[in-house]
Amino acid sequence: MDQIEQLVQSVLQGNRRSIAKTITLIENNEPEAQKIVSMLYPETGKTHVIGVTGPTGSGKSTLIEKLIRELRKRGKTVGVVAVDPTSPFTGGAFLGDRVRMQEHSTDEGVFIRSMANRNAPGGLAKATKDVIRVLDASGKDIVIVETVGAGQSEVEIVKVAHTIIVVLAPGLGDDIQAIKAGIMEIGDIFAVNKADRQNANKAISDIQAMLEMDTEKTGWKPSVLKTTALTGEGITELLAIIEEHKEYLKMGALEANRKENVETELAEAIKQKIAESIIEDLKRKGEWEKLTQKILTRETDPYSAADMLLKKAKRN
Amino acid sequence: MTTERKIRVLIAKPGLDSHDRGAKIVARALRDAGMEVIYTGLRQTPEQIVETALQEDVDVIGLSILSGAHTTLFPKIMEFLKNKGMDTVLVFAGGIIPQEDVPALKKIGIKEIFGPGTSTSVLVKFVQENTRKKIATGC
DSSP characters for A138-200?
TT-SEEEEEPS---SS--GGGGT-SEEEEEE-TTS--HHHHTSSSGGGT-SEEEE-STTSTTH
* Contact (CB<8Å) B6/A28: yes
Lowest mean pLDDT among A148-157, A203-212, B21-30, B100-109: A148-157
Say if residue B1's pLDDT is above 60.
no
Nearest CA in chain B to A79: B55
Look at residue A212 in the predicted model and tell me its pLDDT. Answer: 85
**pLDDT tens digits along B32-85:** 999 999 999 999 999 999 999 999 999 999 999 999 999 999 999 999 999 999
In Å, how far is B56's CA from the nearest CA of chain A? 6
Among A31, A94, A113, the residue with its CB nearest the CB of B56 is: A113
How large a percentage of chain A has pLDDT more than 70? 96
Among B35, B48, B51, the residue with its CB nearest the CB of A92 is: B35
CATH 3.40.50.300 residue ranges of chain A are 45-252
Whether residue B65 is contained in a domain is answered as yes
Whether residue B3 is contained in a domain is answered as no
* Contact (CB<8Å) B84/A17: yes
Assess contact for A23 and B8: CB atoms under 8 A.
Answer: no
In Å, how far is B98's CA from the nearest CA of chain A? 28
ipTM: 0.93
Local structure of residue A262 (DSSP, 8 states): H
B56, B80, B87, best to mutate vs chain A, most A CBs in 10 Å:
B56
In Å, how far is B71's CA from the nearest CA of chain A? 23
For residues A111 and A316, the model is more confident at A111
Nearest CA in chain A to B31: A92
Look at residue B134 in the predicted model and tell me its pLDDT. Answer: 67
Look at residue A214 in the predicted model and tell me its pLDDT. Answer: 76
Nearest CA in chain B to A110: B55
Look at residue A140 in the predicted model and tell me its pLDDT. Answer: 98
pLDDT band at A303 (very low <50, low <70, confident <90, very high): very high
* Contact (CB<8Å) A92/B32: yes
Whether residue B34 is contained in a domain is answered as yes
Say if residue A294's pLDDT is above 90.
yes
Look at residue A178 in the predicted model and tell me its pLDDT. Answer: 66
**pLDDT tens digits along B2-15:** 788 999 999 999 99
In Å, how far is B61's CA from the nearest CA of chain A? 14
Q: Which of B103, B109, B62 is nearest to B82 (CA)?
A: B109
Whether residue B1 is contained in a domain is answered as no
Q: What is the mean pLDDT of residues B84-105?
A: 95
Say if residue A63's pLDDT is above 80.
yes
Whether residue B88 is contained in a domain is answered as yes
- A192 CB-near residues (< 8 Å, 6+ apart): A168, A169, A170, A200, A203, A204, A207, A224, A225, A226, A227
In Å, how far is B49's CA from the nearest CA of chain A? 8
Among A86, A112, A118, the residue with its CB nearest the CB of B55 is: A112
Whether residue B2 is contained in a domain is answered as no
- Supply the CATH number for residue B103's domain: 3.40.50.280
**pLDDT tens digits along A154-200:** 788 999 999 999 999 988 776 666 667 677 888 999 999 999 998 89
Helix, strand, or coil (residue A97): helix
Q: Which of A223, A245, A248, A250 is nearest to A234 (CA)?
A: A223
Q: How many domains does chain B have?
A: 1
What is the residue range of B100's domain?
A: 8-137
Among A31, A91, A105, the residue with its CB nearest the CB of B48 is: A105
**pLDDT tens digits along A205-257:** 988 888 888 777 778 999 999 999 999 999 999 999 999 999 999 998 888 88
* Contact (CB<8Å) B38/A114: yes
Q: What is the mean pLDDT of residues B75-98?
A: 95
The class of domain A45-252 in CATH terms is: alpha beta
